[in-house]
């Protein structure tokens, strides 16, 4: 959806009155002749919803049409009482999309639930004269217990992340109208790229660009969830926004049989670490091959196989304390210090993690970012796309095909691929 930004223009009602006065004095008392006029009629404006309507579904679109002129300005004010004072009102500035001849405007996003809405529309005829129309109406409130909100998002606002970082949104209740919700979430970046959303489950949506983010740029995410009907009778109650920075590009690569990790920063080789990976006696202790994205990190961590279902007394059980641990999967894979492993650089003998010596582990811990990439090859255990942040395991074609919209979102500010309003409205 593309929108236009309008600058306010002065109203010209004075010019209309002056023209009418000239017409009234252009006749003589004798040979009266009707004066022909080339003046354009005022533009006629129509707004939907109608003036005075009450308790409208908040996913109702606002439509403005003009007959005999071009739409020059549409402004929508949405007040929800005390809540308006507690939130950043800029989150609710409504943009819209014009047709090619500027005679129809449709709101890009839904309306706030429980709001008093004022729509002010202005259109200009061929002589530059403006007409204005104002409609006021109210929207239905989202009931307690039927409001869509967030439990978390990654990254957090202000984070600096690596080039492989996905945008992850965790909702507080299941989403069934996924198309409308996808189209309500707008990602913009300084360096334009195509991306798309996928759903890990009914409460987690993930945005991934076609390729790694370009380094050294800002990305913003606008979640225009207010008024979107996420499930039958369930509406988003507010909007959210956050931004983050993509830092330098750090790519780590490991071919597991080589017992080495290569670090490349902004396209240049930086250093090589000797490592010991999984012993591969069974699937559990085999380091997975694929594109991993660095997740959470711990300066000290107790690693206990019981958290993965291998309990004390079971074959392969372990419990040990390590330092400088950086997670690469949800199945227990970390890159961490293991100075007691005498096989670092010569043999793979770990429980599936990547073991480093103390100084190397400290450097990795202190100099990597959430979202940095580790590309691993050389084992027969394939990294699953939904194991942690393994989203790069899907090809772009697969990722796009499995988006609910089936269309890419371009991060240039041109908007999302489709409508956000209710299908029957």
Residue-wise pLDDT tens digits, 125-147: 999 999 999 999 999 999 999 99
Mean pLDDT of the chain: 90
Note the pLDDT of residue 260: 98
Note the pLDDT of residue 82: 65
Cα end-to-end span (Å), the chain: 18
> What does the alpha-carbon distance between residue 407 and residue 75 come to, in Å, rounded to a whole number?
30
Predicted model pTM: 0.87
- Per-residue pLDDT, averaged over 325-329, amounts to 98
As a CATH number, domain 143-425 is: 2.40.440.10
* pLDDT over 60 (residue 24): no
Tokens at residue 106, please? 């449709």
Catalytic residue among 135, 259, 292, 353: 353
Architecture of the structural domain at 13-23+38-138: Sandwich (2.60)
Note the pLDDT of residue 39: 83
Kindly state the DSSP code that residue 247 receives in the 8-state scheme.
Answer: -
* pLDDT over 80 (residue 301): yes
> What does the alpha-carbon distance between residue 319 and residue 141 come to, in Å, rounded to a whole number?
52
Question: Exposed e or buried b for every residue in 296-326, given b needs 16+ CB within 10 A?
Answer: ebbeebebbbeeeebeeeeeeeeeeebbbbb
Known active-site residue 353: yes
What is the helix, strand, coil percentage profile of the chain, to 5? 10, 40, 50
Catalytic residue among 135, 292, 336, 421: 336
CA atoms within 13 A on the CB side of 181: 32
Q: What whole-number percentage of the chain has pLDDT above 90?
A: 82
Known active-site residue 27: no
Strand 240-246 versus strand 160-161 pairing type: parallel
- Per-residue pLDDT, averaged over 18-33, amounts to 36
* pLDDT over 50 (residue 23): no
* pLDDT over 90 (residue 62): yes
Note the pLDDT of residue 276: 98
Q: Where are the domains of the chain?
A: 13-23+38-138, 143-425
Tokens at residue 94, please? 């409504």
Note the pLDDT of residue 85: 53
* pLDDT over 60 (residue 5): no
Question: pLDDT tier at 273 (50, 70, 90 boundaries)?
Answer: very high
């Amino acid at each position: 959806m593309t929108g236009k930004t309008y600058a306010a223009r002065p109203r010209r009602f004075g010019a209309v009155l002056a023209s009418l006065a000239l017409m009234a004095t252009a006749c003589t008392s004798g040979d009266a002749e009707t004066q022909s006029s080339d003046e354009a009629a005022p533009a006629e404006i129509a707004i939907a919803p109608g003036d005075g309507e009450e308790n409208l579904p908040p996913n109702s679109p606002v439509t403005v049409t003009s007959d005999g002129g071009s739409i020059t300005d549409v402004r929508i004010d949405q007040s929800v009482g005390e809540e308006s004072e507690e939130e950043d009102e800029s989150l609710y500035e409504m943009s819209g999309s014009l047709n090619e001849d500027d005679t129809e405007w449709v709101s890009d996003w839904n309306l706030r639930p429980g709001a008093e809405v004022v729509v002010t529309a202005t259109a200009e005829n061929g002589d530059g004269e403006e007409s204005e129309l104002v409609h006021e109406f109210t929207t239905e409130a989202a009931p307690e217990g039927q409001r869509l909100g967030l439990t978390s998002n990654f990254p957090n606002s202000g984070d600096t992340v690596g080039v492989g970082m996905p945008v992850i949104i965790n909702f507080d209740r299941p989403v069934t109208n996924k198309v409308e919700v996808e189209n309500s979430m707008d990602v913009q970046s300084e360096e334009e790229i195509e991306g798309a959303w996928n759903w890990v489950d009914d409460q987690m949506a993930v945005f991934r660009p076609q390729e790694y983010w370009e380094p050294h740029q800002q990305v913003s995410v606008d979640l225009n969830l207010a008024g979107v009907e996420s499930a039958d009778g369930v509406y988003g109650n507010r909007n959210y926004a956050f931004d983050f920075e993509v830092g330098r590009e750090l790519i780590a690569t490991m071919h597991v049989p080589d017992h080495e990790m290569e670090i490349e920063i902004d396209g240049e080789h930086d250093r090589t670490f000797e490592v010991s990976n999984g012993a591969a006696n069974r699937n559990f202790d085999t380091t997975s091959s694929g594109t991993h994205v660095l997740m959470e990190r711990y300066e000290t961590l107790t690693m206990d196989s019981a958290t993965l279902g291998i309990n004390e007394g079971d074959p392969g059980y372990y419990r040990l304390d390590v330092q400088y641990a950086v997670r690469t999967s949800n199945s227990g894979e970390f890159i961490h210090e293991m100075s007691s492993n005498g096989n670092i650089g010569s043999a793979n003998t770990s429980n599936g993690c990547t073991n480093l010596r103390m100084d190397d582990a400290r450097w990795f811990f202190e100099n990597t970012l959430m979202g940095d990439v580790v590309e691993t090859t050389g084992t027969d255990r394939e990294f699953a796309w939904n194991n942690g942040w393994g989203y790069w395991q899907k090809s772009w074609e697969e990722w796009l095909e499995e988006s609910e919209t089936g269309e890419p979102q371009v991060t240039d500010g041109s908007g999302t691929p489709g409508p956000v309003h209710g299908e029957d409205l």
